A and B are shown apart, each in its own frame.
Chain A
Amino acid sequence: MKATELLELRPQGLWCPPAGAFIDPVRPVDRAIVTHGHGDHCRPGSRALLATPETVAIAEARYGRTAFAATQAIPAGRPMRLGDATITLVPAGHVLGSAQVVVEAGGARAVVSGDYKRAADPTCAPFEPVPCDLFVTEATFGLPVFRHPPVQDEIARLLASVRAQPERCHAIGAYALGKAQRMIAELRRAGWDRTIYLHGALVGLCTVYGRLGIPLGPLETVRGQGAELKGEIVLGPPSALNDRWARRLPDPVICAASGWMRVRQRAKQRGVELPLVVSDHADWDELTATITETGAQTVWVTHGAEEALCLWCADQGLDARPLALAGRGEEEAM
């Protein structure tokens, strides 16, 4: 069997014929293998959900226990027979529970990366490269202008700004799943042990992280604390920080934690005063290094700047093509 026969693109998403299942389908299907809990990969309504135990817990927290008729949790690294294929979930390093889907059948192996990064993250297991014939990679930051700085440097800039402006509060726009918890964990590593204040939309997932064994330290929901929040750090969804919600904060410095903050026009358009270049996606160097490491001869490139990465692959003598998956990249676009 050829590796390219292990996967095919259908309107519902990436179909795996030997396993009889879709990977990260965009519409409800009978059987969905899901790489991680972000809304553009994990959608409610499929009959059966197959994912890591953490992703199942996150999906249930987001969509409720009745969103899927049946759920099956497979721990990372444990192979499972599904139809004529063997499916293994391997850590992707993107957010808690995130996994690559390794599909093996007829002597061929394909790996669907989902979203991934190679930088260390205290809130999830690190990416493990898997040698394969076909590698389906994301390319959110698939341009050589994207090279993410070390997260410690960005946290240090944030803390320096907090020290320099003690009469203001720092409000960080961060996606509710993954980015928020990573920022909190990195702040803790940098020695910030004060209470961190949360927008209500972030509370549920922080609780799930805590239950799954990721310590986040003292957290509190933003209510009417007003001036008490001077000198403190607040996290909220990016959309809330440029809107009425932010008015309850004392003279906030609006910060955003995202890989897009690398481009200053983007930061300026969004009215961000302190851009923090922190991403949960692989940057250009990580993308190209990972493709090389898998040894795959065929590379399919999804959501983002496919063109540049396909060009790079072709230059390396790899067979690469863009895979037009609908509705991806929504968490980073915010």
Chain B
Amino acid sequence: MRAFADLLETLVHTPRRTRKLALLRAYFRATPDPDRGYALAALAGTLEMPSLTPSVIRGVAQARVDPRLFALSHDFVGDLAETVALIWPDPPTPPGPPPGLSETVERLRAASRAARPGLLDELFDRLDPSARFALIKLCAGGMRVGVSARLARTALAEEFGRPLSRIEELWFALSPPYADLFAWLEGGEEPEADLSLAFRPMMLANPLEPERFETLAPADHIAEIKWDGVRVQAAATRAGRRLYSRAGEDLAPAFPDILAAMDWQGCVDGELLVAIDGAPRPFAELQARLGRKRVTAKMLAEAPAHIRAYDLLHDGERDLRALPLAERRARLAAWIETHAPARLDLSPEIRFETWDQLAALRDAQRAEGQEGLMVKRRDAPYAAGRPIGPWWKWKRDPLSADCVLMYAQRGHGRRSSYYSDFTFGAWEPDPEGPPGAERLAPVGKAYSGFTDAELVELDRWVRAHMTQRFGPVRAVEQALVVEVAFDAVQISRRHRSGVAMRFPRIKRIRWDKPADEADRVETLRALAAPQG
């Protein structure tokens, strides 16, 4: 428990990915089974633990600590788990050596509901504050140390020199404490697993630069829309149904409507969208459904999920990945025809003769849910990773607007000494001013797009032009114009300006441009996709 608690304690304060990886690698190398397997499960969110409600945890603590002092402490600390971990009085003599992680996990899992408070009390006595915290978090779910399942698997791949793609294929067929996985990582036999539902590492595209066209023949390629949703892989066999994200995370809990509709067998690669009558809705509506553990009936009705299929990896049990794309697409179309699946349709192929023709189509794209085109070689098999050549993504050119810097905030980690998070605005009529008066309405926030040298200049400018502070946020003089690039504008009721930008980034600092010549909210609104 000690090593696991130390790992969590260090991870929570470590912002840097490379450092997190180093910590995870060292832990997985040095820790014996089954502790490291339970730790992996806890970090990856696959550890099943009895759920302890806050009232059970509070009850155990208040049996030891004056409830008034406990309440005052909880008010101060904020987090119940941390309050209990810190306030628990050390017994004069510990009733035994600190338990290991596996002992803790196994005993808690075996304990009946009635026995759990007593067991917690005993374990708390044998642990120190940071291990108590880890124990409570194990039962409360969600370590919140900034480690994704993918990062944990990446650490395994790097430390033990096995391909990440193979670990990801095996992952969903294995279960905690992963003794067979670690045995294989350390040089043993690959675990025997039913891989029919396993995640198949996805094939990804590279950005298409215009100069490429000279070497590409239109006839060798097919084009389709690059839909603006979340890339998914939906797999269904007799063993069950799975919905994976691009990183192999399980999306099923957030999308019961999709799972319920998967009454077919096979494995489809596609784009997850919120769509009503086949028409994609703004990305924000999909985002509202992502990451939910529980989905309300209202959400299911108002924001129905839908898969627009790009590719067919398995038809029933048959693996199609080695076939050329053209053949897989034909099978996909036929498969959809045969099964007529609910909540799933085909991403249609775009006919074109020349690249110029395709470019014109791309430039005309404004509809909701489209972020550009995909160009794919007809003869390419489905290959994991991002091979150069078979698949290209050709995003439409970003839109841009000149906006005025309004607020700045310091960044995190390496950027903590820089004002690097910016809020900017566009002009709108000021209803409180005299006729014709204008004021700025915030239209977006950006943390990127600028070079390191520009960041230094922006930071210096912010420091010299602060006017007000609101907590960590600094208001600045409304005088600096920045050119903001963004992928789309969406009409939004949540923002005062009535518009929201998708993927805004600061493209250029317009030192030359007077603030009153910056763009107006109206202009941005006109860039939004037609509604309905």
Contact = CB atoms under 8 A, between A and B. Distances in A.
A145 B129 CA distance: 10
B14 A273 contact: yes
B417 A143 contact: no
Interface string B55-93: 000000000011011001100111100110011010000
Contacts of A165: 19
B13 interface: yes
Interface stretch (A50-58, A65-73, A306-314): A306-314
A163 interface: no
A169 to B, nearest CB: 14
Given A265-B78, A267-B13, A144 B65 contact: yes
Contact of A254 (B65, B69, B73, B416): B416
Contacts of A273: 13-15
A275 B73 CA distance: 20
Interface stretch (A96-104, A213-221, A239-247): A239-247
A149 B82 CA distance: 16
Contact of A143 (B72, B78, B82, B412): B72
A244 B12 CA distance: 24
Interface string A131-166: 000000000000111110000000000000000010
A185 to B, nearest CB: 25
Nearest to B79: A265
Contacts of A124: none
Interface string A169-190: 0000000000000000000000
Contact of A264 (B66, B76, B82, B412): B82
Contacts of A145: 73, 76-77, 83, 86-87
A274 interface: yes
Interface in B403-457: 410, 412-413, 416-417
A144 B82 contact: no
Contacts of B13: 264, 267-268, 272-275
B14 A264 contact: no
A230 interface: no
Nearest to B74: A145
Contacts of A144: 65, 69, 73, 87, 89
B163 to A, nearest CB: 28
9 smallest A-B Cβ distances: which pairs? A145-B86, A271-B416, A145-B73, A308-B72, A143-B73, A145-B87, A144-B87, A273-B13, A144-B69
Interface residues of A, number: 29
A273 to B, nearest CB: 5
A275 B12 CA distance: 11
Given A242-B410, A264-B12, A272-B13, A305 B417 contact: no
A244 B417 contact: yes
Given A265-B79, A271-B413, 11 more contacts: A144-B65, A144-B87, A165-B19, A246-B417, A247-B417, A254-B416, A263-B76, A264-B82, A268-B12, A305-B72, A312-B69
B496 to A, nearest CB: 27
Contacts of A246: 417
A144 B82 CA distance: 12
A262 interface: yes
Contacts of A147: 86
Contacts of B412: 271
Interface in A264-282: 264-265, 267-268, 271-275
Contacts of B19: 165
Contacts of A263: 76-77, 82, 86
18 contacts: A143-B76, A144-B73, A144-B87, A144-B89, A145-B77, A145-B83, A145-B86, A242-B410, A242-B416, A243-B417, A247-B417, A264-B13, A265-B79, A265-B82, A267-B13, A274-B13, A308-B69, A311-B69
A70 B22 CA distance: 59
Contacts of A247: 417
Nearest to A312: B69
B72 A307 contact: yes
Interface string B18-59: 010000000000000000000000000000000000000000
A162 to B, nearest CB: 14
A144 B417 CA distance: 34
Contacts of A244: 417
B234 to A, nearest CB: 37
Contacts of A268: 12-13
A144 B19 CA distance: 34
A311 B68 CA distance: 8
Interface string A234-265: 00000000111011000000100000001111
A265 B72 CA distance: 17
Contacts of A254: 416
